[in-house]
Amino acid sequence: MNPFDDSHAQAVIDNAILSDQETLPRTDLEALQLHRLREVVARIQNVPFYRDAFRQSGVTPDQIKSLDDIRRLPFTTKANLREHYPLGFLAVPRDQVVRYHGSTGTTGRPTFVAYTRNDLNVWTELCSRFLVAGGLRPEHTAQVSFGYGMFTGAFGLHQGLENVGAAVVPASAGNTPRQLLLMQDLQVQVLICTPSYACNLAEVANAGDIDMDRFPLRFAHLGGEPWTEDMRRHIERDLRIFAFNNYGLSEIIGPGVSGECAYRVGMHFQEDHFLIECLDSNSLEPVPEGEPGELVITCLSKEAMPLLRYRTRDIATVTSAPCPCGRTTHRMSRVIGRSDDMLIIKGVNVFPSQVEEALLRVEGTAPHYLIEVDRPHIMDEVIVHVEIRPEDFSSEMRQMQRLRDRIDREIQSVTGIRMEVKLVEPQTLERFGGKAKRVIDRRREKGLI
Amino acid sequence: MNHHNGQPNAFQSVSSPDYLPPNQLRALQLQRLQAIVRRAYEHQDLFRSRLEERGLTPDCIQDISDIAKLPFMVKTDLRDTYPFGLFASPMDEIVRLHASSGTTGKPIVVAYDQHDLDVWSNVMQRTFAACSVHPGDIVQNAFGYGLFTGGLGAHYGAETLGATVIPISGGNTERQIMVMKDFGVTAVCCTPSYFVHVIERARELGVDLKSLPLRVGIFGAEPWTSQMRQHIEDEAGIKAYDIYGLSEIIGPGVASECDAQNGLHVFEDNFLPEIIDPTTGTPLPDGEEGELVLTTLNKFAMPMIRYRTRDITNIIAEPCSCGRTVRRIRRISRRSDDMFIIRGVNVFPSQIEAAILAIEGTLPHYQIILTREGGLDQIEVQVEITPEVFSDTISAMEELQRKLANSIEHTVGLRVKLHLVPQQTIERSMGKAKRVIDRRQLAE
Amino acid sequence: MKIHQLSVFLENKPGQLVGPCRKLAEAGISITTLSLADTEQFGILRLIVKDWEKAKQVLKDAGFVVNVTEMVAIEVPDRPGGLAEVLDIAEQGGINIEYMYAFTDKLGDKGVLVFRFDDPDKAIHVLGAANFNIIERVDLFNRLGIIS
């Protein structure tokens, strides 16, 4: 099914548009983008990484005459951010930073992002826009079931909800029965969380003695991990709500890069603040419109840590076809894949190398492991099979338990999530051509992601 | 880096209400008390009916001392009126709801309108200022974010003050230390026991906290001792401040220490403190020890009149060397009921009881043991095995252990160490087992 | 066909095993065989005695939590592969073994293993049909020379 086939498009809720910026005529929008692109390129000349890149390529900021000139600018990758840990990409003096957030990284070292007061205001505005597009009104009560903290999800949405004037219940993650109790008792109409957590809530709600006819929830704004239309149908049916998709990543700003409107035919990019490219991951050339490609995003307005041509590794399709909602912005499909080996488990980014790092910290394990990701029911489950060294094998159950607990703790400390650890005897994990297979993602085999 | 060293207690204009001449402060308190009593009378059925029973109207408040005529509110009032019964603002004016766990598993809900959030930010800003945090400081906020008021309360206070906030929330100590080091963090907020744990972990990791720019620790949400403060200050090379608050009143931001570290200044323009005899309810003069009772003078969505905190302290009315004119309360070291506070969470033994009952069907003997290992509060629950739940397979017993631990975690929000023990292992005195053994040695 | 086993819950700390054993000894009950399963925190003592009802009462009176499980005793040839034959048949028959342990004394050139099956009746049926010798309770204690 073409995600942008709007022949069946029908607003599921009242169409509402918060800002004039969302409906700018394309020529005005692109003029604004060019203006901001030139500004940001000038601003980041104090970031050593970019200054060097510009010097090497011989490109100067005043050579940017059109949006197409973006292709002359350097790319930025997650690895670049790590190389300049913690704050090498900061483009303002540190005393202008009012907030730091972080995301998990490939080697256990997180990457951090910074915001000025103005960045926080923009972020709040962008989250407000997609919340309003997806039905939020000031009289609503909304429950934020994202984990609060360094993760941008909870704060972005929290600020957006507050800005619109809704009452916020900052439930944070976990304790599903308590979450459901609060929703009923506080008459919560809007749910904010990951799609898989929404599935979990739906499951528990229907298994319990909740009268779903009187369940107050009406909308959900879900993001932070890829999901499918199938999951949306499941969530909407079981919770009796409308569920909206939104997209973002902390390196760029957090949630607020794009989000669905009342017609739900793709997510509108907030193009006044971001310049979007959709490229072939290998050739780094643009893919034809409608073809899957890697999203590459340039921050146009960010002050504290603007990134040029950030390679998101997220694969999606992009369309410029007009949307019945009246917004003039381009839209993206759901994220349909990754161009690297990153796994998204329970909304958390995990790289196999992080598990490896955790194992390296524990004596008594061989460097052979297999990560098995599955969604047997509705929640992601991970089993890490770890080979132990022959000399460390012990028939004493207690000693093996202790080893397992130790690995368990290290994995949780590095990746931030709990994985089930299974110790296996030496030489039992399959090797392919001398190289072990590291990941089996049964969710992909089952078509769940 | 740190240009504030020369003037650690510099006056910050946000703190001006802390320095009001006493007569002006009393006049402001009276005016606000009259208004809030009227608001509660008009919007809280419970409060109005209690006043009517006593033949009182809001006009009975002609002087601050008249507050003694008013009825107390207690924690069960919040549960009995759950969820909206004490709301004094319409839902469309309410912008935030927080909740804490109560004895029966039902949460206690508190509401804020925009004015209340602004007041909260203001008192937390004054808390940071009193703890010598300044605009430009980098604040690592390790209080838990979410329904618990600690995280968001401290967050908005620090942000409003103009500090940089790292909203790291609780847990993952290694990352906390890494962030502290890599970002040049100058102030940290968390529970004191968690910070003791941070100190130990830093030592293991070979990180010398004293060599870091970290200058200030803002600690609250649980009782702690002078010895702990000394330990923290010596080991981390920081100044450690005690702050006080409770979600029923506003969250953190009710009172805070200043540089003198000798009692906590109550932000009296917003909260009126009284000390009563916990048995008779009679108000006690300043200086005498008793139960702290608080009245919110400036909170619209959910005013609390004469709320019994169960915390035992006394009011210090003598002037403070810092120059603040608002009165102080002595640091809280105990409570007047069986509730205990662990890792910032209020827990009643009856909650644990309900959680065990939910799994086993009947209530076996159990005991809650609180310890402090490596500076971190640990909670262990010992449950005696009964013939009804005993099985000959290890897997079934481990499953039981897991279920009990999960049930307790769901009810009180804390991961406990669960120990199954043989019958008759838990000591009984007069046939009744002692429910809570607190080995944390908190008493001074 | 089934043997009664007593299980006793113990804390996993030094000296815990002595208690139940001493109580049984005081009551003149001798332990035919026992096995101990433990985790870091607790242990389960499994006992086979001839007069299990009396033993159960003695332990209960002494304040222990005791339960009774039905076990199956099977003669297994004392040679390599002897046990594997039993396990193969059980697996093919779809029978799960929760745990097992051996009698200390051998009966001639045969060993005796006691099994805890998830479904003992089915196990007796399947293993009996495969010509394994399922030992009767009386027979077992007689052959072990326990008369009392």
Residue range A218-227, pLDDT digits in tens: 999 999 888 8
Whether A189 and A157 map to the same domain: the answer is yes
Q: Where are the domains of chain B?
A: 13-336, 342-438
User: How remote is the C-alpha of B394 from its chain's centroid?
Assistant: 41
Q: For residues A287 and A185, state if they share a domain.
A: yes
pLDDT for the residue numbered B431: 45
**Average pLDDT value over all residues in chain A:** 89
CA-to-CA distance for A202 and A241, rounded, in angstroms? 10
How far is C-alpha B374 from the chain's CA centre?
22
Indicate if A264 and A299 belong to the same structural domain.
yes
Which of A124-128, A248-252, B384-388 shows the lowest per-residue confidence on average (mean pLDDT)?
B384-388
Confidence class for position B241, pLDDT limits 50, 70, 90: very high
Same-domain check for residues A317 and A392:
no
Q: What are phi and psi of A25, to 5 degrees?
A: -55, 145
Give the pLDDT of residue B200: 84
CATH number of the domain residue A178 falls in? 3.40.50.12780
**Domain limits for position A37:** 6-339
Q: What is the mean pLDDT of residues C19-35?
A: 89
pLDDT (tens digit per residue) in B69-118 = 999 999 889 988 999 999 999 988 999 999 975 434 678 899 999 999 99
- B346/B348 Cα distance (integer angstroms): 7
Partner residues linked to A259 by β-bridges = A246, A268
Instruction: Indicate the average pLDDT of chain B.
Output: 89
DSSP type of residue A162: H
CATH of the domain at A361: 3.30.300.30
pLDDT score of B4:
44
How are beta strands B376-384 and B417-421 bridged, if at all?
Answer: parallel
Residues of C with CB under 8 A from a CB of A: 38-40
The tokens describing B60, both together, are: 């009975």
- The topology under which CATH files domain B13-336 is Rossmann fold (3.40.50)
Closest CB to C69 among B392, B420, B424: B392
**Greater confidence, A194 or B428?**
A194
Contact A100 B166 (CB under 8 A): yes
pLDDT for position A161: 97
Rounded distance, CA A117 to CA A97, Å?
A: 7
Residue A245: name the closest of A378, A257, A315 by CA: A257
Q: Is residue B140 over pLDDT 50?
A: yes
Give yes or no for residue B272 having a pLDDT over 70: yes
* E strands in B298-344: 307-313, 315-316, 328-329, 334-335, 340-342
Tally of CB atoms within 10 A around B42: 11
Flag whether residue C18 sits within 8 Å of chain B, measured between CB atoms: no
C-alpha distance from A386 to closest chain C C-alpha (Å): 21
Chain B residue with minimum CA distance to C35: B392
| In the predicted structure, residue A80 carries a pLDDT above the cut 50 | yes
Domains along the sequence of chain C with CATH: 2-69 (3.30.2130.10), 71-143 (3.30.70.260)
Residue A286 pairs in a beta bridge with: A279
Structure tokens at A122: 């923009």
Mean pLDDT of the C80-99 span: 86
Predicted complex ipTM: 0.81
Say if residue A246's pLDDT is above 50: yes
Mean pLDDT of B221-241: 88
Q: Does C15 touch chain B (CB under 8 A)?
A: no
- Contacts for A386 with CB less than 8 Å, ≥ 6 apart: A359, A365, A366, A368, A369, A407, A421, A422, A423, A424
Stronger pLDDT, A17 or A226, i.e. the higher one: A17
Choice among A16-20, A402-406, B133-137 with the minimum mean pLDDT: A402-406
Rounded mean pLDDT, A291-312: 97
Residue B423 contacts C where some CB pair is shorter than 8 Å = yes
Q: How many CB atoms within 10 Å of residue A391?
A: 8
Same-domain pairing of A305 and A392: no
The better pLDDT of the pair C114, A306 is held by A306
Mean predicted confidence (pLDDT) in A179-198: 93
Closest-CA residue of chain C to B418: C41
How far apart are the C-alpha atoms of C117 and C71, rounded to whole Å?
Answer: 7
How many angstroms away from the CA of B196 is the closest CA of chain A? 19
CB contact under 8 A, B172 and A416: yes
pLDDT, tens digit, 9 for 90 and up, residues A49-79: 999 999 999 998 889 999 999 999 999 999 9
Rounded to whole angstroms, how far apart are CA atoms A158 and A142?
9
Lookup result for tokens 């003669």: C75
Q: What is the DSSP letter of A76?
A: B
Distances (CA, A) of B229 to A355, B144, B173, B176, B331: 38, 21, 20, 20, 12
Domain count, chain A: 2
Which pLDDT does position A5 carry in this prediction? 53
CA nearest neighbour of A146 among A196, A185, A208, A104: A196
Q: Are A87 and A108 in the same domain?
A: yes
- CB-CB neighbours of B375 under 10 Å: 19
Amino acid at B122: N
Distances (CA, A) of B296 to A426, B19, B37, B91, C75: 65, 19, 10, 20, 79
Cα→Cα distances A167→A160, B9, B72, B78, Å = 11, 37, 29, 20
Q: Is residue A1 part of a domain?
A: no
What is the arithmetic mean of pLDDT over C56-76? 88
Residues with Cβ within 8 Å of C84's Cβ and at least 6 positions away in sequence, in order, are: none
Residue A350, amino acid: V
State which of A279, A310, A339 marks the end of a domain.
A339
**How far apart are alpha carbons A244 and B359 in whole angstroms?**
38
Dist CA A272 CA B272 (whole Å): 50
What is the b/e burial string over C45-61, where b = at least 16 CB atoms within 10 angstroms of the residue's CB? bbbbbbbbeebbebbee
Residues A335 and A349 in one domain: no
Of A95, A101, A102, the CB nearest to B136: A95
pLDDT (mean) for A30-53:
96
Q: Are A167 and B96 in contact (CB under 8 A)?
A: yes
Which alpha helices (DSSP H) does B101-191 contain, by range?
A: 114-130, 149-161, 173-182
Judgement on whether residues A131 and A98 belong to the same structural domain of the protein: yes
The CA-CA-CA angle for residues B3, B9, B12, to 5°, reads 90
Same domain for A274 and A365? no
pLDDT tens-place string over residues B336-376 = 666 788 887 778 777 787 788 778 766 678 889 998 887 78
User: What are the DSSP calls for A197-260, one per residue?
Assistant: HHHHHHHHHHHTT--GGG----EEEE-SS---HHHHHHHHHHHTSEEEEEEEETTTTEEEEEEE
In chain A, which residues have their Cβ closer than 8 Å to the Cβ of B413? 175, 178
Q: Is the pLDDT of residue A436 over 60?
A: no
B362 interfacial to chain C (CB closer than 8 Å): no
Indicate whether A100 pLDDT > 70.
Answer: yes
pLDDT for res A323: 95
Q: How many other β-carbons are positioned within 10 Å of the β-carbon of residue C32?
A: 19
3-state DSSP helix/strand/coil % of chain B, to nearest 5: 35, 25, 40
Instruction: Return the CATH class of domain B342-438.
Output: alpha beta
Where residue B59 falls (left for φ over 0; alpha for ψ -120 to 50; beta otherwise) is alpha
In a domain, A45, yes or no: yes
DSSP-assigned beta bridge partners for residue B99: B109
